[in-house]
Structure formats: C-alpha cells, structure tokens
Amino acid sequence: MFKRFALSAALLLSTPAFAQGTPSVPAPETQEVLIDTELGPITLAIETERAPVTSANFLRYVDAHRFDGTAFYRAMRLDWGDQPNGLVQGGTQNDPDRVLEPIAHEPTSQTGILHKAGTLSMARYAPGTATGDFSIMLSDQPGLDADPDAADEDARAGYAAFGHVVSGMEIIRQIFDAPIDPQKGEGWMKGQLLAEPVRIETVRRVDRGDTSNASPRPDAQ
C-alpha cells in the first residue's frame, strides 16, 4: 500500500499540472471552545460549517453559560478492541433549568463528520431529541455513524458528530479512567456513571487568533 502511494505521488510530481500547483481547498469553518474543568482545560473545534444545526445548538448553551457548573458524569468503557475504547459524556443531564428545546438530527451521512477518536457528538434518545448533553470519543466508534442501509431506524440515523478535540485529550483520558460507582444509574447506564463527576467550571468561545496548537480533524484523510 505504501509503495503504491509513493508511486502515485511520483507520477503526480512528473505532470505539468502538479508542477504548476493545485488549487487549495479551504478548511471548513470552525469555532474553538474552551471547556475549563477541575482537572484542566479541553479545547474543542466546533464544525459550524459542516454541522450548522448541531453546532448552533451547542454554542447557544455556551453563550448562555448553561454548561457552567455541569460535569462530565459518564464513562462508557468497551472491553474489546484496542484500549482505551469508549467515550465520556457530560453536559446538562436533563436539568430543567438548563435544557433548551431539542434540535433536528444531523446524521454523519449528511455532515461527513465521522466518529473518530477525539470526535465530539451529541447524546440523545431518539433522533431529534438532542438537547444539552454531549460525548467525546476515546477511540474510533464507527457504530455511531449513520448507516443508511441499516434495517433499524436508530442505526440508520446514527449520532450527530459536530466537532473534535484540539487539545486536552489527556484530560479526557483522566475522566475516562476515573472510578465508577457500580450502584449509580439505571438500566444500560448502570455501571457507567462516575463515582465523583468531574466538574465543568466554564465553557467559553475562544478567539481564533492563535492557531499554533490546532490539530487536524479526526476524520481528515
């Protein structure tokens, strides 16, 4: 595979079109957001261009300070595949004083934003019920992507990915590794809730003037 790629690159270099340079494709618009937690800062890039509905929803919570004082409260740990495998979840936890009306569902088949390690995604029940809870992937989770050919309606919809971690994955890992309370939660959530949720102090937009620490999108090819 690597030899084939190298040969293709060599052929491109030998053509006049490549020698003249190819037009650059501008990166999709994003808005950086800083989550200040009790363990340290996490910087996110919110995909305002590719996932406008879901991004606008997240940013309205940010701008209204509705995430301030919430927490990362869940670590879903999958015991197969390369480790760490799973996700962490945080946000409003359906607090009636914080949640806003649900939003329309934006599937990955529409946005092109896949559930790779570091991807930010909306938590939901049925499609179209997402409000103020979100997840961050510790590893690739293709099962959360929309599958238009699936027989199950929920699998066809998948989950709405809308951003990625720019910096602070070490903080996400600390949250993921925090102790679980086996008695907390009900149903499928039991055994996934943190014994001591990690407090989110503030969530704010970041001036995009300094891009020195920017990282590629998880789904970049």
Q: What is the pLDDT of residue 16?
A: 38
Segment 76-115, tens digit of pLDDT: 999 999 999 999 999 999 999 999 999 999 999 999 999 9
HSE, side-chain direction, 13 A CA sphere, residue 35: 33
Rounded to two decimals, the pTM is 0.84
Segment 125-174, tens digit of pLDDT: 999 999 999 999 999 999 999 999 999 999 999 999 999 999 999 999 99
Domains of the chain: 27-205 (2.40.100.10)
Does 5 score more than 50 pLDDT? no
Query: What pairs with residue 135 in β-bridges?
Result: 89, 121
